[in-house]
Amino acid sequence: MIFGYARVSSADQNLDRQLKELEAFGCEKIYTEKQSGKDFSRAVYREMRSKMRFGDVLVVHDLSRFGRNKQEIRNEWKKIMDEEIDIVVLNMPILDTRKYKELEGVGQLVSDLVLTLLSWMVEEERNRIRTAQREGIAIAKEHGAFKGKPKKYHAGAKGKDRLIYNEIVRLLKQNESVMNIHRETGISRNTIYGIKKELERSE
């Protein structure tokens, strides 16, 4: 059977292009997933793998749909090859293990060489995006544009959140340690430190 696997990292991203190409290739069963590719513990991917057998073919649009971590990609590729399941990467025709059936060892050599290069490129791109995000946040903070997550416990909070805030303030004013307040309220120490700093500034 020819299995197709399409993946994007978040719910707001579109799978249409990948699906169109997998269908055009002739995939008989296509699995779709909207989840990070940092590892292979993805529910849909694991379900698909559990159904794959000797002689089947796994088709992905590009290597980054397969995964995002260099070592994880190499390990998973080897497992699939060991099970004698073929792999086709549509945007990289050299990564089509069906081509090397008659050339003993060549398929594995080509896969090793190309995977080393491409999986490194995929991981570098992932790291580049992370770095850009961190730099973007830092710049936004400098200009006062990045607000971070909205505070849950503050003087203007409502209901239960306000009660918890009031209790933290009361305990702080009684000179209770942050650790003791954390144990008593279950609120993170970072949050309590933040409230403590606000109180100190206001005083």
Question: Domain ranges in the chain?
Answer: 2-130, 159-202
Residue with tokens 């990289």: 92
Instruction: Mark whether 9 is an active-site residue.
Output: yes
Active-site choice (9, 50, 119, 202): 9
- CA 23 to chain centroid, in Å, comes to 25
Which portions of the chain are predicted below pLDDT 70? Answer: 68, 101-129, 132, 135-149, 203
Q: Is the dihedral of CA 181, 185, 191, 197 positive or negative?
A: negative
3-state secondary structure of 26: coil
The domain 159-202: what is its CATH number? Answer: 1.10.10.60
CA distance 114 to 92: 9
pLDDT tens digits for 121-139? Answer: 666 666 666 776 776 666 6
The domain 2-130: what is its CATH number? Answer: 3.40.50.1390
pLDDT at 85: 92
pLDDT at 64: 77
